[in-house]
Amino acid sequence: MPSGFTLHAANAGVFPDSPLSLLYGLAMAVDAFSALFFGWLFDRIGIRSLILSTLCSAFFSLFVVLANNPILIIIGIVLWGIGMGAQESIMKAAVSRIIPKNMRSTGFGIAWFLGSWLLGALYDINVIMLVVVSIAAQLIAVMLYMVCIRTQKG
């Protein structure tokens, strides 16, 4: 979604073209700090850190895609940065604890591709459905993380 939110911000005309790279830079700065934070948190509480990061970022698309207010879009960009930082720092470590070794790259790669393709297609078809699917997928992920935690305890 990095070029996606800048594309959308440009298409919506909420920001002039010149600061769009700064918005991306903001997302990357938040990404870097959240990667450090969620990496630290993952070392302490494990997969539960994914629940927190996913809940923090689950609603980014609502702000980025549906808002026509610069402040709300910036909030969405910050939420997206949080999710990316957590994903880049802890998702692979968490997946390695959940998915059998022989299926990790296949399952992760296929899911990532299909999700990206679906959200890209929905952007062209119906942005409200994009937001609904994005939020729903992330909330379902939270439930699945909770199932994994319970399964590991049992």
pLDDT tens, position by position, 58-109: 999 999 888 888 899 899 999 999 999 998 888 877 777 777 778 767 767 7
Residues in the chain: 154
What pLDDT band is residue 5 in, cutting at 50, 70 and 90? low
- Residue 149 or residue 101, greater confidence: 149
Using the predicted structure, report yes or no on whether residue 148 has a pLDDT greater than 80.
yes
CB 8 within 8 A of CB 64: yes
Task: Give residue 29's pLDDT.
Answer: 96
Mean pLDDT for the chain overall: 87
pLDDT surpasses 60 at 154: no
CATH assignment of the domain containing 126: 1.20.1250.20
Structure tokens at 95: 């997946």
pLDDT of 144 over the 50 cut: yes
Q: List, for residues 98-118, the tens digit of each pLDDT value.
A: 777 787 677 677 878 898 899
- Give the count of domains, the chain: 1
Domain that holds residue 43: 2-153
Please tell me the predicted confidence (pLDDT) of residue 117: 93
Percent pLDDT > 90 in the chain is 51
Whether the per-residue pLDDT at 137 is higher than 90: the answer is yes
pLDDT for the residue numbered 2 = 47
| Rounded CA separation 123/73 (Å) | 16
Give yes or no for residue 134 having a pLDDT over 90.
yes
**Other Cβ atoms within 10 Å of 44 Cβ, number:** 8
Angle in degrees, CA 61, 141, 6, rounded to 5: 20
